[in-house]
Amino acid sequence: MLTSQSLALFQRAQESITGGVNSPVRAFRAVGLTPLFIQRGAGSHIWDADGNEYIDYVGSWGPLILGHAHPAILAALRETMAGGTSFGAPTEREVVLAELVKEAVPSVELVRFVNSGNEATQGALRVARGFTGRAKVVKFEGCYHGSVDALLIKAGSGATTLGVPDSAGVPAAVAETTLLARFNDLGSVLELVEQHPGEIAAILIEPIPGNMGVVVPELAFLRGLREICDREAILLIFDEVMTGFRVARGGAQALFGISPDLTTFGKVIGGGLPVGAYGGRRDVMSLVAPSGPVYQAGTLSGNPLAMAAGIATLRALTEDVFAELGRNAQRLMEAWAAAAKAAGIAIQTAQFGAMMGFFFTERPIRDYADATSHNDTRRFAAFFRGMLEAGVYLAPSAFEAMFLSTAHSERDLDQTIAALGKVFATL
């Protein structure tokens, strides 16, 4: 597979862009390659700078649930930008998107749009601290909530991929406000609550983690968090930047029937344009400026283009569409497991709606310690390279997720399944 154009672009990029990429996990370091520079995408396929074509299971890390260059999204963008791209003033489109989010996610009574998942989790954390008057937050090892100082503690995604789960540059005074618990381990949360009575503002969690690979949550664990928060007047924040409008129309909270006090969104609600949002209980969100004393702002927050792409996306995501996405994703992951088994290789798979993952291990993966000690990342790297050669583009890290879109055809799935058989046999 010729990748000379990508290599030349990468060498040139490193002269101007630190690390040659604008987000670390794109650097392909964990899979022993240099990054592919993507020229274009259409539907479920992308083409790199050398003209190689791939079936894409990254989908820009989740936003593109309708696939690349979806006609309805392009039409909405064309219509919107004909009237200008940004005003720094309220527009009808942000009201429409807010109403679509509220209609799909009943726990959200008020919402604030921002420009990334980072900003969404930062805003949710600040309003939780403002509302409770408390400083500490509980997060879980391996969960990733964007590159926010207080949350880059034992963080997943690229931080774990590159071996910096505790980033340099985060002052100890900030890190001290972050308390670490273990996913699927309610006892580890209860211990922190007992050690820090009246000090914890929020428990922040990815209800289905997708940043240490995809880990299956135990329902009793998630329900237990809700009970602890109710008892201790702690706010429960579901970070649904990845799972929102991805695992179900109402997100993970709809799947599990648990209402958080605040939810963060990103990715899908912007249809591929820069976006984030946080929202939830009216009494909490009413504290956000200008209604209240918790300040948060942004030049391009609620910008018309992201709102237009988000509206087009959410309007296309009906319950029937999610049902079909789920069936296709389930078929793919069953074939994934069968192909590995046929090659005598043990893997663990997970699938929730159009979000999937797998680990190279025979042991169940319950938390970050499992994911980082029992997942054969070397075998993953070899598998990644084999699938890339076979024209299938996966996330270049064992600590990420895979995403299916409505654009993935039967033929795509058949081709992917055929590639699985060949590549597993080479491992």
Q: Catalytic positions, please?
A: 144, 239, 267
118 binds ligand KE4 (CB under 6 A): yes
The footprint of ligand KE4 on residues 148-167 (CB under 6 A) is: 157-158
| Binder among 400, 406, 420, 424 for ligand KE4 (CB under 6 A) | 400
Instruction: Work out which of 56, 206, 367, 370 binds ligand KE4, going by CB under 6 A.
Output: 206
Least gap, CB of 76 to ligand KE4 (angstroms): 20
CA distance linking residue 220 with residue 217, whole number of Å: 9
Listed ranges 29-37, 206-214, 293-301, 352-360: which one lies at the site for ligand KE4 (CB under 6 A): 206-214
Q: In the bound complex, what is the minimum distance in angstroms from residue 264's beta carbon to ligand KE4?
A: 7
> In the window 213-252, what residues touch ligand KE4 (CB under 6 A)?
239, 241-242
Mark the segment that binds ligand KE4 (CB under 6 A) among 43-51, 83-91, 113-121, 350-358: 113-121
Residue 185 is a binding residue for ligand KE4 (CB under 6 A): no
Q: What is the DSSP string of 64-133?
A: -TT-BT-HHHHHHHHHHHTT-S--SS--HHHHHHHHHHHHH-TT-SEEEEESSHHHHHHHHHHHHHHHH-
Among 211, 361, 372, 416, which residue interacts with ligand KE4 (rule: CB under 6 A)?
Answer: 211
Task: Pick the binder of ligand KE4 from 3, 6, 121, 177 (CB under 6 A).
Answer: 121
Q: Closest distance between ligand KE4 and the C-beta of residue 362, in Å?
A: 25
Q: Which stretch binds ligand KE4 (CB under 6 A): 110-118, 217-225, 245-253, 344-352?
A: 110-118
61 forms part of the interface with ligand KE4 (CB under 6 A): yes
Order of all β-strands in the sheet with 348-352: 348-352, 355-359, 402-403
Q: Label residues 237-262 b or e (16+ Cβ within 10 Å = b).
A: bbbbbbbbbbbbbbbbbbbbebbbbb
Strand stretches in 226-334, DSSP E: 235-239, 262-266, 276-280
Residues 28-53 as b or e (16 or more Cβ within 10 Å = b)? bbbbebbbbbbeebebbbbbbbbebe
Cα–Cα nearest to 114, from 162, 163, 148, 70: 148
Pick between residue 49 and residue 205 the one whose CB is nearest to ligand KE4.
205
Helix, strand or coil, per DSSP, at residue 179: strand
The verdict on 56 binding ligand KE4 (CB under 6 A) reads no
Of the residues 20, 43, 59, 146, which one makes contact with ligand KE4 according to CB under 6 A? 146
Minimum CB separation from ligand KE4 for residue 211, in Å?
5
Q: Which long-range contacts (CB under 8 A, 24 or more apart) does 6-10 make?
A: 6/34, 6/35, 6/36, 6/37, 6/48, 6/49, 6/50, 7/34, 9/37, 9/49, 10/34, 10/35, 10/37
Interface positions, 287-346, toward ligand KE4 (CB under 6 A):
none
List contacts with ligand KE4 (CB under 6 A): 23, 25, 61, 116-118, 121, 144-146, 157-158, 206, 210-211, 239, 241-242, 266, 276, 400
